[in-house]
Structure 1
Amino acid sequence: MATQKIMCSCCGKVQVPTQFYKSESLFTAATGKLTVCKTCLQTEYKKDPENLKHVQNILRMIDRPFIYDIWTASIEEAKTKSKNGDANVFGVYMKNIGMKDFISKNWSDSEYDFKDDQEHTTKMLLAKSNEDVTPEDIEEFIQFWGRGLSVEDYLWLQNEYIDFTNRYECDSKGMELLINQICLTMLDIRKRRENGEKVDQQQKTLQDLLGSSNLKPVQESGASGVEQETFGTLIKKYENERPIPEPEPRWKDPDKIGKYIKVFFLGHLSRMLGIKNEYSEEYWSEMQKHTVEEPVDDEEDEVTENGLIQ
């Protein structure tokens, strides 16, 4: 019985099944092959082989996964197999993801390079947000809270986390993780309520997390309450976690201690060493305020060569 041929959906040619890559997609179940032939895929790849986004677009259109580690391994494998330097990287990659561990995967199972994916996610979030945040802020949010949230969600979570850490002592990694999960659970409850969904299970999870972290009102001990109200403890927290902002000019150096050090120590030392800087200039400016100059009369007595006063 003759092998049933397949028509390529790109070039329209009817070819034998070996000219098509394997596929276990539900939409190719009749043939078990992709609908685009190997030649058309290779032609499209060669249009811009150095552009990784171009490769990803091809794989997305045929619903096959892009797995960064396999792609890099395929590049090295193609180099070793190439005799004249014309490495068929795309063909090697399609062969590798056709193995049993990857044949059932599709585009939604893609695994990107972390740095490349991070930059892409950051750009998308910034483009969708009207908030005044920087790319560095977005990267920190993703690292701490995970992916898949909007900028507004990240900001809400961050504000809640700061509120918790300002009210309660958070001096261990375990406590940070618990507060992190508490905030995420609170966000989940908030979103479910907005959609009219039940939140019984989420509320139970929240209660368990609060109990594990001793943050329930009934668990707050007297020592914990006193510690929150201690001025020294608050200063320590502010200096370690949230630095105190710059004071008003009138409170920066009320006792002039900083000025004394800059003028009479750093300024005088700079003068001795012959260094001209802001300290030496400030030193001379201050010295002029305390320098008394000898007055000079306009009509001074003139002395002749013989020593006689005229």
Structure 2
Amino acid sequence: MAEAPRRRSQKKASDPTVSTQKHYCCRCGTAYSRKKGFFPVSHSPMYRGSGYLPFCVECVDEMYDQYVQELGNAKEAMRRMCMKMDLYWSESIYTIVERSAGTNSRVRNYIGKTNIVRYIDKTFDDTIKEEVAAGGGAGYALPVVQNEELPTEDDTPTDQAIIDFWGAGFQHDFYMELKRRYDNWTGGEEKAKNLQPAERALYQQICMQEAIISRAAAAGDPTDKAVNTLNNLLGSMNLKPAQRKENADVELDKMPLGVGIQKWEYSRPLPETPKENRDIRGVIKNITTWYLGHACKMVGLKNSYCKAYEDAMEELRVKRPEYDEEDDDSMLSDIFNGSSGADGEE
């Protein structure tokens, strides 16, 4: 293996708020202001104190390339890297990496796959135990791992409609993750049908950025740019918590009370009141009779409110008694006859 390169110049952090503590790569000696994004994540007991490998991502790529040149076999080079860095070696993981090979680093992609839940607690010691149990020995030759099933999720065919919606080139599990995130954001397929094309495109980008951030964090890659992009997308749709609260306050401040009541009635109307519970205390009748009816009477309007007011007033008016002629004569005669009789008796 070629000698390690000379120590490079240290990288200084431009942000004054960043801690002055330096993290050095044990191979090239380059200093970094932080480990996240510059050193691969490791769950090996050897590096449990820091949670990262002591080699920077650039040195990891260089070591892998050197092993590929020396051994002439990419698979053996990946296994040798696992042995050197105490990573779990598995044919399944390597097959997945080869299938999804692209512009990203193969070795960093492999390290990211070893950090998923299925392999997170395994190291190269587990690889040796599995090889011994399978009868392959613990040498440097390529092991023949028997009875190891490849993940069936990557072999599952993806519906063509999903591929057309998200675009071609992804694995089945990635398509399923995007679909789950999209359903979670939109509330399901039925509600997603009512979205406008612009809203649908923004939700697609949000789900894509969330999936990218999740996988980049598992692989120990930087996520700053993806997080900024996600925040911009959330801001475009006014989905940030601060935006939603601010918009709600402004809307309430500028909305008249009647408009607000009308909006609530259209969006969340009250259920219809049963007939036996309608206006039990007569509040509606009193308001329509003594307020609306009296106001209509004052301005001279002739309508149902005015008639109700007049009918109610008619019931409360005091009526003077009226007598016809016969009654009046009888009353007077009774009065006079009664008084004359009284005088004659005296």
Question: Which structure has the greater CA radius of gyration?
Answer: 2
Q: What is the TM-score normalised by the length of structure 2?
A: 0.30
Flag the structure with more relative contact order, 1 or 2, with Cα contacts below 8 A and sequence separation at least 6.
2
Q: TM-score, normalised by structure 1?
A: 0.33
